[in-house]
Structure 1
Amino acid sequence: MTVEREAGEDDVDVFMFSFQQQQQVEVSSTDNFQVNVRKSSPNQHPTWTELTCHSNCQLPVDPSYIWYKNGQQMEGKTKKINPHPVNPEDQYSCALSGYESFPSPSVYPPKLPSVSVSPSGEIVEGSSVTLTCSSDANPAAKYTWYKKNVNPDLQPLSKEPQLVFSSIQSSDSGEYYCTAENQLGKRTSEYIFIDVKYPPKTSSVSVSPSGEIVEGSSVTLTCSSDANPTAKYTWYKKNVNPDLQPLSKEPQLVFSSIQSSDSGEYYCIAENQLGKRTSEYIFIDVKYAPKLPSVSVSPSGEIVEGSSVTLICSSDANPAANYTWYKENQTLSQEPGGGYHFTSISSEERGIYYCKSENQYGQFNSSSLFIDVQYAPKLPSVSVSPSGEIVEGSSVNLNCSSDANPAANYTWYKENEDSPKASGQIFTITDVRPEHSGNYYCEAQNRRGRHNSTLYLTVVAGKLCSLMFTHT
């Protein structure tokens, strides 16, 4: 006996077998039997199915048929039957009465479809992947492919036994299933999970909390990347040798109490066995109150009266500090640059100075800076002690003093005498005599200059009278 499949009309698949006719029916070996299957159209009753026992043989008048369900003979001798319902396990065949040994091939709905993936093993993005659906069915099943959680009312992914991805992408990951359907029924496969592996996509970095970062606060940097398998992360700081120990090998880089020295640009590397990706830089700008200000004077070295002098105050601060200069608690100025300028410094500006640096996060005072202005002696003042009438034979002190920096040295002279009479602020004359009368002057001198002052002494009627005159 030979069995073959023919295409029938009206959505009918035909299965035939041929046999040697015996007794009353004249047939040749090419004659055959088959079961025709016809299902209702969609606008008719959805469960209506018609099976017809058909033969191309020359049959007797009013032939009688035998129907089998799952190998068991059914009641009735008609050419057509309408089984209801058709269960997935049911199989139907027919035969001509008297020729029960030559039944038609069985027809049956699809068995549970099986799904497979090729190639087997790990699926890497960009590779070619084929999903195959197969099911035992007669008539042969038609196949449809779907992806789980995608509306099946939409266009199916494929209406072929195979679903082909010529270059599979990460977005294709998910669960797939197929349906196998013929005129007797429809079965849905189990899900097959497609896990597409791929290297990290673009890595992104974020900082928490967002907004301004203040020294001493807790700050967390987070690195994230779409990758399969999950990426491992490594953190680095820009311009720090990456061959050294990384800052962190976790998705997060945590500063429990961030410091000003932590300011800078950071980046992370996301990596799995398929590749790695480096993030863009994220800049961390740590705000902080001024550190201890440093103070200096320009030009350095000795400060001479009349010269140009600048006091400089600087402090590490973020944002930049505002500066205020003080002289012994007297406010001088508030200048953004931290400088205080003397165009022509005077001796009166000698003293102790300090500055204050300040921003919205705090303030700090510098240490004291002593400004020592050097200048030539001012006009000396001279005096006689004791004052008033001086009795001949007594002692008298001539005093000379001058404002000078550094301190002045004093020398006493008598007019018309080349040699100095004395050195020091006080010139003492003991046992005063008339010949001591005359014009005396003192000279105050330091390395910045000198200045003179004159004193006149006169003896009258046995008494020494003093008159003081000064000139420069």
Structure 2
Amino acid sequence: MSFTAAASGFLVFLLSVPVVQGQHGWGVTYTPTEICALKGSTVDIRCTYRYPANLDNLTITAEKTSWFTKQEGDEPVDLRTDSEYEGRVEYHGDQKNCSLRITDLRETDSAVYKFRFITNHPTGKFTGSPGVTLTVTDLQVQVTRSSVTRYYTQAELKCHSSCRLAGRPSYVWYKNGQKIKEGTSSSYTDYFYRGDRHSCAVKGQEDFHSPPVCVNGHTCIRVTYANRSICALKGSSVDISCTYSSYGHSVESKFWFSPKHSRRWQDSSQPEDLSGDSEYAGRVHQLEAERGRSTLRITDLRESDSAEYRFKFKTQSFQWGNYFPGTTLTVTDLQVQVTKLSVNRHSTWAKLKCHSSCRLASYVWYRNGQNIKEGTSSSYTGYFDPGDSYSCAVKGFEDFRSPSVYSPKVPSVLVSPSGETVEGSSVNLTCSSDANPAATYTWYKENGNPDHKPLKTGPQLDFVSIQSSDSGEYYCAAENSLGGKRSDSISVNVTYGPKNTSVLVSPSGETVEGSSVTLTCSSDANPAATYTWYKENRTLHQGPEESYSFTSISSEDSGTYHCQSDNQYGQFNSSSLFIDVQYAPKVPSVLVSSSGEIVEGSSVNLTCSSDANPAATYTWYKENEASPEASGQTFTITDIRPEHSGNYYCEAQNRRGRHTSTLQLTVMAAPWKSTAAAVTTTLLLVIILLIFVFLWIRRKRASKQPSGPGERPDNGLQLNQGHVCDTSAAAQTQPTDRQDDLYYATVHFSKTQTDPLYSNFRPQRREEEEETVQYAAVNFKRPQTDPGTRSQEADEDPSELYSTVQKPYANPRF
């Protein structure tokens, strides 16, 4: 003997040898092939099956499996669609194993059960034969031998079943509801009195008693229930009846009880009247329409009323025991189950089933409250519009209809907590829809989700710590087997303080003086931030504008800028941005290292500087000279000479432009040279004066003497006016006697002027100007000629040479 689930029933295996049926890789194996099970219990019929992995270049898979006991034409009738098994069969298994479970076994379930599978191959159908033979039996107490006396009867009783129990089962015997014996023997011999009633059960399956018997036939004390099991609808009323015999004894007390509530009894071994139970208050009534018959009526049935109910009575010398099974009540609620077959845009083709936990006789179907069908079938198939609702009832109990089934109504979305949604807080979105069967829910984010991929399934969308990125439009879809609907979109606006604040400059790249420049403060904030602009921590502007503009930026605008964004949830400073305004060099400034007179032989530094960005490069030039004198900001002249005097200019240049400045440089002679020049000049004047006197005296003498042939007239002395006196020897006389030759000099008198050094340098005036007179040495040479060479001397100019004396500008290299 083998048992399925605990307290659910037992199986008796008469043949446990596996039988394999099949060929060419197809087959079904049943284990075992014969099963004996008790009425009311549960049985599992098991098998394994196989098929080729590949056939005709096709990978084979099983697409449909079924169990059956009979056929309609050539097609087997699936037990799941057989009304006799409705609600009592379950299929289990996978691609190798198959199992059929039948609950609440009835004697009519005795049959041969076969398994059938259909594959994806056109000819791939297979039925396993010979199948499994199931026999459903009920235990019976048989009186095999008896001997009757005046006061008692000696008899042998046997616990009998219609099929043989496997193994060595153990039996339990009951007398008047009390357990009296347990053992492996199916027989029991004892002395039995007229008031005794006996029954048996198999150990482990005590809920499946045999019907009780009296050795003395109908004269024994007994309780007989009209129904061993009753199924009733929730909300309805039920009558549970029994007949009882006290064999002539006066009944002192009688009541109904339920072992289910034994834990609430004062003494768990002593049943208590059900009418005193608070759960049944006002809902139970004990009726005695006739002698020896009792009825328990329960109204307004609840699913919690599902239980076993027993009747107990007591006489002066006897009481009916507590252990005999009574009537099992199952309270069921009708439910319409939906199997969706196909869906189009406007309707759904589906199969409905009026389901209950027990088998019912006749059904009534309703659409939108109107009766549309009656019959024994619990199923209804047809087209269903989205707005239709369907329900079912049991014939005769139309007031106890099932809940209606219908597609979901438009869902609603609730946000919790209400009000502002602040970043970091916990937020829950709840989707609800009126639907039966209950709807399943799917959440979507409308914006930023072009593929409409679901975010989450379930009625709630939870944000433990909501972020700014979670802002957006959300909606949910409710769907059941009859259709679906989507909710309206709900906006989730997450508020938060400024973050990621930064400064951008436009146009990008180098900033040139005079151009238009815009600084933009970018910040992520909700609600929108207000902005404050700073230059080196000095406030420039505050307001909602995110830009700060320069129409024509100048060099003074160079500096470090940053912005601050703020709203009611916080503030955030940007990093600093340095604005570097580039411009061409301004007019350079030129400085001379010597603050006074520049004296010959000294060292002089000329420095040029200019405001420029980028920094300028410098080049020095001397006026009227093509080649630069020097490069660099400072031009140094060591051992300066008078020839260095002149106009100099420096050029400041960068890639934005150039500018120049000029200075005049005057070099003064050394002091000792000035003194020597003065002495020389004085001496020269004395000599010239002596020459004048000498010439004048000689002329006087000559005028007193007659002129001879060949004599020349005296040349007069000519003076040029101005700073330069030019004395020229004009006399061409050729005296008869030898005389010295006279040389003349041109003398230049120059004044030293003070000139400005550079354009923006303010010269200092000297209180008085001093003349610098430079003299040239006059050389008197006496020619060494002989009288014989007179004719040659006549061709030469007797005034020979004169020297030009001027302010020296000779190059110091010479």
| Normalised TM-score (structure 2) | 0.43
Task: Name the CA shift for 1:247/1:56 in 2 (closer, same or farther; >3 Å).
Answer: closer
Counterpart-to-counterpart distance in 1, 2:425 and 2:394: 55
Q: CA deviation at 1:269?
A: 1.7
Q: What per-residue deviation string (whole Å, max 9, x for no partner) do you get for residues 402-444 of structure 1?
A: 879699xxxxxxxxxxxxxxxxxxxxxxxxxxxxxxxxxxxxx
User: Following superposition of structure 1 onto structure 2, how do residues 138-287 of structure 1 map, counting pairs within 5 Å?
Assistant: 138-149=436-447, 150=449, 154=453, 156-237=454-535, 239-242=536-539, 245-246=540-541, 250-287=545-582
Q: Secondary structure at the match of 2:643?
A: helix
Counterpart-to-counterpart distance in 2, 1:173 and 1:82: 47
Corresponding position: 1:38 with 2:338 = yes
State the match for 1:19 in structure 2. 236
Q: CA deviation at 1:308?
A: 0.8
State the match for 1:109 in structure 2. 407
Q: What per-residue deviation string (whole Å, max 9, x for no partner) do you get for residues 17-41 of structure 1?
A: 330259xxx9964534402303248
State the match for 2:50 in structure 1. none
Amino acid corresponding to residue 306 of structure 1 in structure 2: G
Number of aligned residues = 399
State the match for 1:85 in structure 2. 383
Corresponding position: 1:305 with 2:600 = yes
State the match for 2:370 in structure 1. 72
Q: CA deviation at 1:455?
A: 9.1
Q: What per-residue deviation string (whole Å, max 9, x for no partner) do you get for residues 132-164 of structure 1?
A: 11122223222222222536775x433232111
Corresponding position: 1:389 with 2:695 = yes
Task: Name the CA shift for 1:314/1:33 in 2 (closer, same or farther; >3 Å).
Answer: closer
State the match for 2:588 in structure 1. 293
Counterpart-to-counterpart distance in 2, 1:114 and 1:144: 13
Counterpart-to-counterpart distance in 1, 2:368 and 2:576: 72
Amino acid corresponding to residue 241 of structure 1 in structure 2: R
State the match for 2:633 in structure 1. 338
Task: Name the CA shift for 1:54/1:277 in 2 (closer, same or farther; >3 Å).
Answer: closer
Q: CA deviation at 1:117?
A: 0.8
Q: CA deviation at 1:175?
A: 1.5
| Normalised TM-score (structure 1) | 0.72
Of 253-262 and 48-57, more deviation after overlay is shown by 48-57
Q: CA deviation at 1:324?
A: 3.0
Q: CA deviation at 1:206?
A: 2.1
Counterpart-to-counterpart distance in 2, 1:148 and 1:334: 76
Q: CA deviation at 1:266?
A: 1.7
Q: CA deviation at 1:215?
A: 1.6
Q: Secondary structure at the match of 1:67?
A: strand
Counterpart-to-counterpart distance in 2, 1:240 and 1:146: 47
State the match for 1:53 in structure 2. 354
List alignment gaps of at least 5 residues for structure 1.
Answer: 1-7, 11-15, 408-445, 458-472
Task: Name the CA shift for 1:73/1:338 in 2 (closer, same or farther; >3 Å).
Answer: same
Counterpart-to-counterpart distance in 1, 2:656 and 2:534: 29
Residues 205 and 267, structure 1, Cα contact 8 Å, conserved in 2? yes
State the match for 1:470 in structure 2. none
Q: What per-residue deviation string (whole Å, max 9, x for no partner) do you get for residues 286-335 of structure 1?
A: 22121111111003233222111111111111222232333444356364
Residues 322 and 338, structure 1, Cα contact 8 Å, conserved in 2? yes
Residues 441 and 477, structure 2, Cα contact 8 Å, conserved in 1? yes
Task: Name the CA shift for 1:218/1:248 in 2 (closer, same or farther; >3 Å).
Answer: farther
Q: Secondary structure at the match of 1:144?
A: strand
State the match for 2:670 in structure 1. 375
Counterpart-to-counterpart distance in 2, 1:369 and 1:322: 22
Counterpart-to-counterpart distance in 2, 1:334 and 1:229: 66
CA RMSD of aligned residues (A): 4.2
Q: What per-residue deviation string (whole Å, max 9, x for no partner) do you get for residues 376-412 of structure 1?
A: 2154341414645242999x99x998879699xxxxx
Of 381-390 and 164-173, more deviation after overlay is shown by 381-390
Q: What per-residue deviation string (whole Å, max 9, x for no partner) do you get for residues 248-269 of structure 1?
A: 8622222221112222222222
Task: Name the CA shift for 1:226/1:454 in 2 (closer, same or farther; >3 Å).
Answer: closer
Q: Secondary structure at the match of 1:120?
A: coil
